Chains A and B, each alone.
Chain A
Amino acid sequence: MSVAVAARRRFSKVDWRDPNTLTYVGLGFLALIYPTLVYLINPDQGPALVSQAADAGVFVVMALGLNVVVGFAGLLDLGYAAFFAIGAYTYGMLASGQLALSPIGHEVHLPFWVLLFVAVLVAATCGAILGAPTLRLRGDYLAIVTLGFGEIVPRVFRNLSQFTGGVNAISAIDAPVLPYWIDGPWDGGASFAVVQNLKFTAGEPTAYYVLMVLIIVAVVVVIRNAQRSRIGRAWMAVREDEVAAEAMGVNTVNIKLLAFAIGASVSGFAGCYFGAKLSTVSPENFTFLVSVTILLMVTLGGMGNIPGAIVGALVIYFVQYKLLSDLPHWVAAGAGALNLSQHATNVATDYATRLNFVIFGLILAVTMLLRPQGLLPSRVRAQELQRGTTDESVFDAAAT
């Protein structure tokens, strides 16, 4: 009885007019029905669409992590893809035949579920090592140091070719395997299994999708609790006025370092999943473009707001991997309909493939200029970003 009462009390406290609540409910509902929906509407493309949704989830997770760094703590991290790369390479090297070719000379195949946490630890350690010296300085140094770090990490992985395969990438990485108590040791006729036929294979991406949804839920819960705790208030204080926060007894360096390390570890988490899903890890997957894409997701969605980051990630993923990648086909089709010459069609299609950078840059700059609080703003953050225009003294104190 008490559980039911508690649940009812909890439920009655929910503010249904809050856009964030509506977003959470809408997204949760969408996540539940999405696989069924695509199989119903478009059965041929079903697996591909579910697989794409799982890939989009990787970006959602990273946007959630970067939101902690940029949105909560107000630090600009421009090398976020570096931690993603570290996570992916951790998994790639420790769960494939790659190390047999290296001086170590022995294959390592650790289970995915263990490596998820190893990747988190490795990424968080790298984040702490990078952040500790730079976070003591003014915030904008972090931006340039992380930018450099983001450039260097893929290069290091490319140069250390005897360990990482260099430009040839690591391929044939192990797929995750469910533990026996879920999958059942009675493989094949798995009548006693908790979940039947949930296999991590490329052609049947439902398992990856389910795992991704679970990861997102877990990350949201952890980050949301951190935000609503003492740590979250400390982040807000540091972001708004570092001097005042320090005077109030907040250890600003540690609290910034914590945000940075949490962001890094979430990215490492996503990287590990990414490596497992794609089954191949190459230095080309972690360019500056990826870091900026994630920054774009957080900025557009609304800095400092968790549902904002999720929505921003989904919107930008759709723009980049659906609209922009299909645009050349549409242009070619349009040119065909207009009976343009082959040369003109080629030129037009060629230009259509080059729009990526400009569109990303425009979205970033225009969002910051016209709606700095983003699509789904956090109330605190929106006030902060708008009040800054009239109240100069706040800016000056924070700029020290």
Chain B
Amino acid sequence: MATVAGALKQTRLGISGRVGGWIFYGVPLVAFLVLILPRLFLNPGFFLQILVFGVTDGAVLALIALGYTMVYGIIELINFAHGDIFTLGGFIGVLIFSLIGIVPGKDLNLGFLTLFVVIGVMAVTMAINGGINVLIERVAYRPLRHQPRLAPLITAVGMSFILEGLMFIWKGPNFIQSPDLLPGGHFTVLAANVDYRSIVLIAAALVLVVLLTLFIERTKLGKAMRATAQDRDAAQLMGIDINRTISATFFIGAALAAAGGILYGFYLHNFRFDTGFITGLFAFTAAVLGGIGNIRGAALGALLIGLIRAFNDGYGRSEWSDVLIFAILVYVLVFRPTGLLGMQVPEK
């Protein structure tokens, strides 16, 4: 046993340095050049089509990954419940839409008003979802902040189960339909149909990510978040209200997840209580790939994961996509645990 572990340790040490960097970038590059690039020339239309799917998928994923990365950055907790917070956002969105009379299949034709309705509903959903996440943090994670690390992790798994269970009781095991308020139609580039809906979705995600970046970098609360993430004790000594800052982080994370949930519903039309479980796992992989704790990294990682999944679905066999993405998680952890853009968590 010891010799096996010793041998593995040696290999591990051998691949983490410069050689590791070569492997980390080299293997995907070679895979891209050999497996993907030739198809661009064989059938550029199909390639472009897949690209659009991948970027759209990545945009939704980014909204979830940001929540993981922010929470991990500030209190070093893998918030297992975050994937379910995403599903909950979608559920609440569908509920609010149905309350104001927008149900799937009904043709409303609101015209330009749609934009305002969607933004309004999205804002309300984001606020409710954010509030729920703040409540979860207050009840389940805050009392355990000074316990051994295992305690909040297990509680997070418990919260994930509670959320899934509540949604299961609420809607049962069937998929629920979401209304679709994205514009129809498409334009054609190189024989590829680019839907307007994809463009809108990507734009919406992009706006949210840019807003978040501005918020973190320009506002006082954003500064407090960065300070708390860097050194909680020192931040407290500087007069920052730690609890309020952490609550704000959970609020923003859940709000973005709710936006992601609504957009996911628009785009794929249906989801059910456990949709967020595997989606959350992908989002976490994206956050690790980009460098956990790093906002831009999470967005970049999500984009890449979305593309990889789309390429595998398009050119490979889709039932292996989950396995591939998980393999990427392990691959990143082996060769470059800090991710593409570098980890931003406190060095204690």
What is the interface of chain B mostly: helix, strand, loop, or mixed?
helix
In the complex, the answer to whether B166 meets A140 with C-beta atoms within 8 Å is no
In the complex, the answer to whether B281 meets A354 with C-beta atoms within 8 Å is no
Q: Which of A155-190 contact B (CB under 8 A)?
A: 155-156, 158-159
Q: Which of B139-154 contact A (CB under 8 A)?
A: 140, 143-144, 146-154
In the complex, the answer to whether B165 meets A364 with C-beta atoms within 8 Å is no
In the complex, the answer to whether B12 meets A132 with C-beta atoms within 8 Å is yes
In the complex, the answer to whether B348 meets A254 with C-beta atoms within 8 Å is no
Residue of B nearest to A298 (CB): B154
Task: Report if A229 contacts B (CB, 8 A).
Answer: no
Using Cβ atoms and an 8 Å threshold, which residues of chain B touch A78? 157
Q: How far is the CB of B236 from chain A (nearest CB, A)?
A: 12
In the complex, the answer to whether A258 meets B155 with C-beta atoms within 8 Å is no
Task: Report if B134 contacts A (CB, 8 A).
Answer: no
Binds A, one of B49-57, B179-187, B218-226, B326-334: B326-334
In the complex, the answer to whether B161 meets A361 with C-beta atoms within 8 Å is yes
Q: Which of B321-348 contact A (CB under 8 A)?
A: 322-323, 326, 329-330, 333-334, 337, 348
In the complex, the answer to whether B161 meets A392 with C-beta atoms within 8 Å is no
Chain A: how many interface residues by the 8 Å CB criterion?
A: 66
Interface residues on B, range: 35 or more
Q: How far is A279 from B159 in the complex, measured between Cα atoms in Å?
A: 35
Using Cβ atoms and an 8 Å threshold, which residues of chain B touch A145? 329-330, 333
In the complex, the answer to whether A364 meets B157 with C-beta atoms within 8 Å is yes
Using Cβ atoms and an 8 Å threshold, which residues of chain A touch B152? 368
Residue of A nearest to B169 (CB): A354
Task: Report if B107 contacts A (CB, 8 A).
Answer: no
Q: How far is A192 from B254 in the complex, measured between Cα atoms in Å?
A: 70
Q: Which of B5, B157, B323, B329 contacts A254 (CB 8 A)?
A: B5
In the complex, the answer to whether B281 meets A147 with C-beta atoms within 8 Å is yes
Q: How far is A31 from B175 in the complex, measured between Cα atoms in Å?
A: 45
Task: Report if B76 contacts A (CB, 8 A).
Answer: yes
10 new A-B contacts at CB < 8 Å, known A138-B76, A148-B329: A128-B4, A132-B9, A140-B78, A148-B281, A155-B319, A358-B169, A364-B154, A364-B161, A369-B155, A399-B348
List chain B positions with a Cβ less than 8 A from chain A.
1-2, 4-6, 8-9, 12, 76-78, 80, 140, 143-144, 146-155, 157-166, 168-169, 172, 277-278, 281, 284-285, 288, 319-320, 322-323, 326, 329-330, 333-334, 337, 348
List chain A positions with a Cβ less than 8 A from chain B.
70, 74, 76, 78, 128, 130, 132-134, 136-141, 143-145, 147-149, 151-152, 155-156, 158-159, 239, 253-254, 257-258, 261, 288, 292, 295, 299, 303, 350-351, 354-366, 368-369, 372, 384-385, 388-389, 392, 395-396, 398-400
Would you give 22 A-B contacts (Cβ < 8 Å), ordered by A? Answer: A139-B149, A140-B78, A140-B153, A141-B337, A144-B281, A148-B330, A152-B323, A303-B150, A354-B169, A355-B165, A357-B165, A359-B165, A360-B158, A361-B163, A364-B154, A364-B157, A365-B140, A365-B158, A368-B154, A385-B148, A388-B146, A399-B348
